Homo-oligomer: A and B are copies of this chain.
Amino acid sequence: MAQGPTITTIAARAGVSIASVSRVLNGLPTREDTIRKVMAAADELGYVPNAAARSLKSNRTYQVAFAMADIGNPTYVAMVREIQPVLKAAGYRLVLHSTDGDVDDELDVLRRLGERYADGLIISPLRGFAQQHLDLLAGAPAPVVVIGSVPQDTPVDNVRTDSRTGVRLALEHLYGLGRRSIGFLNGPLDTIPGAARAAAYTDALAALGLPYDPDLVEVGDFYRAAGARAAHRLLERSRPDALLCANDLIALGALDALREERLRVPEDVALVGMDDTELATAAWPTLTSVSLGSAERGRRAAELLLDRLEDGAAAPRIVTVEPTLVVRASTEGAS
């Protein structure tokens, strides 16, 4: 059992000088019987070599970091649940960073990779890859896998989803239910998902032959309370018969707002979330939601990183996970 042995306790146990222990642990030439005594004492005391000293030699920490925007968003939890076992089976411990989607925080995580506290990084940058990300990425001393979009030809392993198809599936479903006034509660347009979903919503409306009505669109943030506020603002000026929400947290907020306005879901307003998190089934009525394959994206990212740790020179790969629509009570009525 490790009792936090130090160079001093090892010296005492081995019956040699502190200087001798230091020489042995640092691999300097020493008398053979001294080496044997020190190694035996270190072993008995459960001595753990200092990671700093050790990583200078082995160049491996057997830690991998995952940097995500918000530990409170079940999308990322679903990713962690898949990433962790894949890495663990390969002997790596996972450490997590919750960046609040703050670009400086993300850049700091990338920069600190240079300090070799982890052998690799999976990062899901909320506001996309800026030039600064790319600069740091180019010189990253450890493999990086990005979950989310990156600019074309960025030389990095990348797992993405197709939210455009996801939005289209949601609107076609609502259209099929006879809804024609389909509102949209989005997150910030300077985020990757916000921008992508805004474009996808516009395109999907056009494909269905529905007009784009700015009164039916509100932009808030990817949190529940922000979703409720956005829904209230939208309902003040228009009366949609369906609402698409850019994630499940926004949809939960919309559900709060609709309840306050005494509108029934789905009778008056059909409601669709995105990400298909566990909140979708915690809510009542349960939420129809676009699954963007978070679990699968997490698993694929972990696999790409392990491959990269094996072979740093292979060509970067892009994996795309297809979305699906999971229909529940918030659009179809019966639980």
Contact = CB atoms under 8 A, between A and B. Distances in A.
Interface stretch (A13-21, A114-122, A231-239): A114-122
A2 B81 contact: no
Interface string A32-52: 000000000000000011111
A5, A52, A116, A335 — most chain B CB neighbours (10 Å): A52
A282 interface: yes
Interface stretch (A137-145, A152-160, A203-211, A308-316): A137-145
Nearest to A260: B335
Contacts of A89: none
B335 A117 contact: no
Contacts of A116: 50-52
Interface string A11-33: 00000000000000000000000
A98 B84 contact: yes
Nearest to A63: B117
B56 A115 contact: no
A240 interface: no
B4 A141 contact: yes
Contacts of A53: 52, 56
A266 to B, nearest CB: 14
Contact of A96 (B97, B108, B115, B279): B97
Interface in A154-202: none
Nearest to A50: B116
A312 to B, nearest CB: 13
B50 A115 contact: yes
Given A52-B52, A114-B4, A117-B61, A95 B93 contact: no
A136 interface: yes
A65 B118 CA distance: 14
Interface string A272-292: 000000110011110000000
A71 B93 CA distance: 15
A113 to B, nearest CB: 9
A151 interface: no
A128 interface: no
Interface stretch (A72-80, A212-220, A319-327): A72-80
Contact of A1 (B6, B132, B140): B132
Contacts of A4: 114, 136, 138-141
Nearest to A282: B282
Contacts of A94: 97-98
- 7 nearest CB pairs, A to B: A4-B139, A284-B284, A51-B115, A52-B52, A96-B96, A48-B114, A95-B95
Given A51-B115, A96-B96, A259-B335, 10 more contacts: A3-B138, A3-B139, A4-B138, A4-B139, A4-B140, A50-B116, A71-B71, A72-B80, A95-B96, A95-B97
6 contacts: A51-B52, A51-B116, A95-B95, A279-B282, A282-B282, A283-B283
